[in-house]
Amino acid sequence: MSVLAQWIGRDKNVQVVYHNGTAVDADIFKGIIRIPHMACASGITQEALMLLRGRVYHEAGHIDETSLSKAESPKGALHEIWNALEDRRMEAVESDRHKGCAVVFRWNNNYYNRKIAEQMSSGKKDAPLCEALCAMSLMVEGIQPAWHLGQKAQDYVDAAHPEFIKVKQCKNASAALDLAKVIYKLLKDVNDEWKQNQPPPQPQQGEKSKEQGEKGEKGEQGEQGDGDQKGEPQSGGSKDFDDYENQKPEKGDEKKSSDKDDGKDDAKDGSSKGKDKGDDSDEGKDKGDGDKGDSEGTDGSGDEEEGDSDGNGDSGDGDGKNGEGSDDADGEGEGEKGEGSKGDSEDDGPDGEKGGKNGGKSNKSKPDSENGEDGDGEPSGNMKAGDVPYVPKNDEPKGGKGDGKDKRDLEEEFDGLSREQAQNEDLEEFFKNLPVEDKKYLSRRDLDRHSAPETTDLDKTSYRDRLAQVSVTVSSMTRALEQALRSMSKCRKSPYLRRGKIDHQRLVAIAKNLSREVFYRTRDGMKLDVAVAITIDESGSMSNFYEVQLLAMAIGEALNTIGIPFEIIGTTTLYAGGSYGMPEMNGFTRVNPIVYNHYKLFSDKWSNVRQRMVHTGCHHHNIDGEVVEYAAFRLKQRPERRKVIFSLSDGEPCAGHGNDGEMCANLKRVCKRVRKEGVEVFGFGVQSEAPRAYYGKDWFVYLDEVKKMGPEFVREFTRIVTEGGVRV
C-alpha cells in the first residue's frame, strides 16, 4: 500500500508509517500516511482490503490535491462542510487520473451508504448536519441515500443541495472553501429557523417548575389544603397573589407573612433569593416544594421585612431558569429551590428559634407580563386561586416534535458519522474478528512486485523445442480430458418410466398393453465448470526447475485444448537471506518482497503468451502460504463453480528471515482456510515427497519424471479436473 500511496500522491517522498492501532489516517500537511500493522495480517478479508485501499487512496489523494495550508483550514462546522466538498472534488480528480481509484471509491461509497443507513435506522445517531452532508455527498455521485432522512436533515438538503452540486466546478481546495462558506450560511439560516420554531418543553407534575423565556411562565398550580397554598398558577396575563397571601394559617403553624409594600421585587432565574433584614441580618435558606408549607424568617418581633421570597414551595417569578433567582429588594441571599414534591426549610431568627415546617416567607413580585399584555395569545385578566392555569399550546416546529435538541447550533450537530471515522470503526471490527494465529503473521505485501516477462522470437522457438519433449504426455492428457468431457456432457436417455415422453421403441408394449413403463426422459450432461490457477515455486532450491517447467507447459496445453480457463504464476523473492537492502522487520513476520511473474493471466490468450514459460527458473526464496492465498483471491473473482489451485513446489517455504517454522505453519493454515471457502488446493511434488506434509496426503500428487509421465498421473490429473465424475 505504501507504493500505491506514493503513486497516487505523485510524490516519492510520501512517508508511510505503520502503527499498532487499527485506523488509517494522514497528516496531509507533512505528507505522512499512517497504516495499522493489522492491515498486513494473513487472512484479511476482501471487504477489509477494499476498505483499506479506499482509506489509503483517499488520504494519498488529499496529499496530492488538497493544497490548502494549515492556517487556512477552517474549523468546526465549516470544516465539516468544506471537508465533504473537498472529498468529492478530490476523489473525482483522482478517479479521472487513476482508473483503479474510480473502482475503489465507487465501492467505498456504496459500502458507506449501507453503513450510514444501518446507523440511522437504529436511531442511535442524532446528527442532522452530518446526515445531510452524507446524503448530499452520495447524491453528487449519483447514489440515492439508502435511509430516510430526518426532517431537519431534509431541510438542510433542500436548502443547500443546489449549491453543493457546484463542487464539480471547483478547481482547487480554495474554491471548495468559498463554496463551503456559502453553504454554511444557508444551513445556519435553516438552523436558526428551527430554533425559533422550537417550543418550550412542558413542565411535569411534581417536578421543579420552570419559567420559559421572558414570559415568566410558572409551574403547575399547587393543591390547596390545611390553609396553605401549595403552588402558583402559570403566568398567562397579570397575576393576583393577594388571594394566596391573605389566607390565614392553620393552628400551630407559624404566622404567614404578607408583603406590606408594592412587592416590586424582580425575581431572577426562576426563584427568589432574599435576605431578611433583622436585628442580626440572619440568612435563611429554604427549600420549598408545593407539598409542605413555607418557612418564615423573622426578626425578634416577628415582623416581616421587605424582599421576602414567595411562600408557595415553587420557584419565584422572573425568567424561570432552574428554579433559582435573586431578590433585589433586600440584597443578596438564598431562597427556595422548588422540588415540586416536598421540602424542608429552616430559618434561624435572632432569638434562636427555627421556623416550623409550614412557616415560611412569602414574596409578592410583579410578573413579567401584566394584564395579559404580553401573553402571546394567552388569556388576559387576573387569575385567582382555584383557576385552572393556562397551558401554552405545544405547536410542533417545522419537521418534528420539539424536544429541545433542535436548539443546538451547527457545531453540535456533527457527531462522527464522517467517512473516515465510520470506515475506521469498520476496520477495527474486521481486525477484532481475525483469528489470533492470523494476527501474528504480518507481511509487507505492499512491497511485493508484479510483472510479466518480456519475450522475443527466439522464445517461441525454444518453447516449441521444449514442448516436443513432453508431446506424448500432452497428447495423453488431452485425449483423456476430451474423453472425460464428452462423457460428462453427453445427454442420456432414461427409459422405462411411467411418466415423460412416449418411447417409440416401446410401441408393441403399448399396443398389447403389456406394460405401463413406456415413457422416457432425457438427462442433460454435466459441464466442466472449473477454473485453475497454477503456481510455480521459483526458489533457489528448485534445481529441477526444468522438469517443473515442462509439467506446467503440458498442463497448460491440455487445459487450453478443452477450454478450461487458467492462469500460471511463478513466484520468488527479491532478496536472498541477509542481502543488503532488505527492509527492516519492525514487528513484521515477512518483509522480503515477493516477486510475482505472471506468465499467463485469465484474460490472456494462451497462444499469445505461452512462450513466456521458457523464462521460469530458480532464484531466491519461496513463500508458498501467501502465494496460495493470492491465487485463491484471484480465483474468487471468477464465475466458475469450481476453483482449483495446482501448486508446483519442492516443499518447505522459506523467506530468508530465519523463521521458517512460522512460514510452514502459515502455509498449512492458509490451505485449510481457503478450502473452507471453496477453493481446492493440490500440491504437486516433482521428484519430492516434501509437499505432502504441508498440503495433506489427500491433496498431494507425486511425479517421478515429467518426460515419462505415465497413465497413473494422467488418471489422477483427469480425476482432479473432472471432480471424479469420469473414470479414465
pLDDT tens sequence across 512-524: 888 888 888 877 6
Query: Which residues, in sequence order, are bridge partners of residue 567?
Result: 533
| Residue at 451 is within a domain | no
Q: Do 8 and 34 belong to one domain?
A: yes
Q: What is residue 109's predicted lDDT score, i.e. its pLDDT?
A: 92
In the predicted structure, residue 319 carries a pLDDT above the cut 70: no
Using a pLDDT cut of 70, give the percent of the chain over it: 66
Band of residue 353 on the pLDDT scale cut at 50, 70, 90: very low
- Residues recorded for the chain: 728
| Residue at 359 is within a domain | yes
Grid look-up 515477493 returns 594
pLDDT higher at 343 or 459: 459
Q: Do 419 and 272 belong to one domain?
A: no
Angle at 210 between CA 207 and CA 212, to 5 degrees: 145
Q: Kindly state the average pLDDT of the residues 614-626.
A: 93
Band of residue 583 on the pLDDT scale cut at 50, 70, 90: confident
Band of residue 292 on the pLDDT scale cut at 50, 70, 90: very low
In the predicted structure, residue 326 carries a pLDDT above the cut 60: no
| CB of 574 closer than 8 Å to CB of 451 | no
In the predicted structure, residue 192 carries a pLDDT above the cut 80: yes
Asked which of 105-114, 191-200, 487-496 is least confident by mean pLDDT, the reply is 487-496
| Residue at 86 is within a domain | yes
Cα gap 380→237, rounded to integer Å: 5
Most confident of 12-26, 382-396, 592-606: 592-606
Band of residue 547 on the pLDDT scale cut at 50, 70, 90: confident
pLDDT higher at 6 or 292: 6
The count of C-alpha atoms lying within 13 angstroms of the C-alpha of 285, restricted to the half-sphere facing its C-beta, is 0
| CB of 336 closer than 8 Å to CB of 313 | yes
Determine how β-strand 32-36 pairs with β-strand 228-229.
Answer: unpaired
Q: What is residue 261's predicted lDDT score, i.e. its pLDDT?
A: 46
| Residue at 110 is within a domain | yes
In the predicted structure, residue 236 carries a pLDDT above the cut 90: no
pLDDT higher at 507 or 296: 507
Cα gap 295→226, rounded to integer Å: 15
Contacts of 417 (CB under 8 A, 6+ apart): 116, 119, 125, 127, 130, 131, 134
Band of residue 178 on the pLDDT scale cut at 50, 70, 90: very high
Contacts of 114 (CB under 8 A, 6+ apart): 146
pLDDT higher at 379 or 17: 17
Q: Do 170 and 208 belong to one domain?
A: no
Cα gap 387→220, rounded to integer Å: 11
Q: Do 380 and 264 belong to one domain?
A: yes
| Residue at 404 is within a domain | no
Q: Do 232 and 155 belong to one domain?
A: no
The pLDDT tens digits for 548-558 are 899 899 999 98
Q: Give the closest residue to 671 by CA, choosing from 687, 683, 656.
A: 683
Contacts of 517 (CB under 8 A, 6+ apart): 496, 497, 498, 506
pLDDT higher at 349 or 482: 482
Angle at 46 between CA 41 and CA 52, to 5 degrees: 65
In the predicted structure, residue 248 carries a pLDDT above the cut 60: no
Chain-wide mean pLDDT for the chain?
Answer: 74
Classify 48 as helix, strand or coil.
helix
Band of residue 143 on the pLDDT scale cut at 50, 70, 90: very high
pLDDT higher at 457 or 413: 457
In SS3 terms, 400-419 reads as CCCCCHHHCCHHHCCCCCCH
Number of Cβ within a 10 Å radius of residue 513: 8
Q: Do 558 and 467 belong to one domain?
A: yes
Q: Do 426 and 559 belong to one domain?
A: no
Determine how β-strand 594-600 pairs with β-strand 519-523.
Answer: unpaired
Q: What is residue 495's predicted lDDT score, i.e. its pLDDT?
A: 85
Cα gap 259→246, rounded to integer Å: 10
Q: Do 332 and 370 belong to one domain?
A: yes
Cα gap 306→244, rounded to integer Å: 18
Extract the C-alpha cell encoding 88: 468529492
Which secondary-structure segment (H or E) carries 156? helix 151-164
Contacts of 598 (CB under 8 A, 6+ apart): 450, 451, 452, 567, 569
Which secondary-structure segment (H or E) carries 714? helix 711-722
The count of C-alpha atoms lying within 13 angstroms of the C-alpha of 650, restricted to the half-sphere facing its C-beta, is 19
Residue type, 125: K
Classify 83 as helix, strand or coil.
helix
The single-letter DSSP state of residue 125 is -
Classify 727 as helix, strand or coil.
coil
Instruction: Compute the Cα dihedral for 156, 159, 165, 169 and give only its sign.
Output: negative
Q: Do 146 and 130 belong to one domain?
A: yes
Number of Cβ within a 10 Å radius of residue 8: 23
Asked which of 24-38, 378-392, 620-634 is least confident by mean pLDDT, the reply is 378-392
Number of Cβ within a 10 Å radius of residue 386: 9
The pLDDT tens digits for 249-262 are 444 444 444 444 44
pLDDT higher at 193 or 274: 193
In the predicted structure, residue 482 carries a pLDDT above the cut 60: yes
pLDDT higher at 416 or 449: 449
Q: What is residue 404's predicted lDDT score, i.e. its pLDDT?
A: 53
Extract the C-alpha cell encoding 718: 483427469
Chain centroid offset of residue 101 CA: 20
Cα gap 513→459, rounded to integer Å: 72
In SS3 terms, 662-718 reads as HHHHHHHHHHHHHHHCCEEEEEEEECCCCCHHHHCHHHEEEECCHHHCCHHHHHHHH
Cα gap 239→366, rounded to integer Å: 8
Classify 502 as helix, strand or coil.
strand
Whole-angstrom distance between the N-terminal and C-terminal Cα of the chain? 47
- Domain span at 241: 201-276+284-296+307-394
Burial class (CB in 10 A: 0-12, 13-18, 19+), 534: buried
Band of residue 267 on the pLDDT scale cut at 50, 70, 90: very low
Q: Do 472 and 514 belong to one domain?
A: no
| Residue at 407 is within a domain | no
Extract the C-alpha cell encoding 57: 487512496
In the predicted structure, residue 204 carries a pLDDT above the cut 70: no
Most confident of 101-105, 267-271, 488-492: 101-105
Phi-psi category of residue 629: left, alpha or beta, with phi > 0 → left and psi -120 to 50 → alpha = alpha
Q: Give the closest residue to 228 by CA, choosing from 246, 240, 215, 211.
A: 246
| CB of 286 closer than 8 Å to CB of 360 | yes
| CB of 136 closer than 8 Å to CB of 103 | no
Asked which of 127-136, 271-280, 711-720 is least confident by mean pLDDT, the reply is 271-280
Q: Do 417 and 498 belong to one domain?
A: no
* CA-to-CA dists, residue 120 to 85, 108, 508, 714, angstroms: 22, 18, 73, 59
Q: Kindly state the average pLDDT of the residues 394-421.
A: 59
| Residue at 439 is within a domain | no
Q: What is residue 569's predicted lDDT score, i.e. its pLDDT?
A: 96
pLDDT higher at 139 or 410: 139
In the predicted structure, residue 172 carries a pLDDT above the cut 50: yes
Q: Give the closest residue to 680 by CA, choosing from 570, 531, 484, 478.
A: 531
State phi, psi for 354 to the nearest 5 degrees.
-110, 140
Domain count of the chain?
Answer: 4
Q: Kindly state the average pLDDT of the residues 681-707.
A: 88
Orientation of helix 457-468 relative to helix 545-561, angle to 10°: 90
Q: Kindly state the average pLDDT of the residues 394-410.
A: 53
Q: What is residue 724's predicted lDDT score, i.e. its pLDDT?
A: 72
Band of residue 476 on the pLDDT scale cut at 50, 70, 90: confident
Q: Kindly state the average pLDDT of the residues 218-231.
A: 42
Q: Do 503 and 585 belong to one domain?
A: no
Cα gap 540→571, rounded to integer Å: 11
| Residue at 301 is within a domain | no
pLDDT higher at 411 or 699: 699
CATH code for the domain in which residue 551 is found: 3.40.50.410
* CA-to-CA dists, residue 556 to 546, 641, 725, angstroms: 15, 20, 21
The pLDDT tens digits for 70-106 are 888 898 889 989 999 999 999 999 999 888 899 999 9
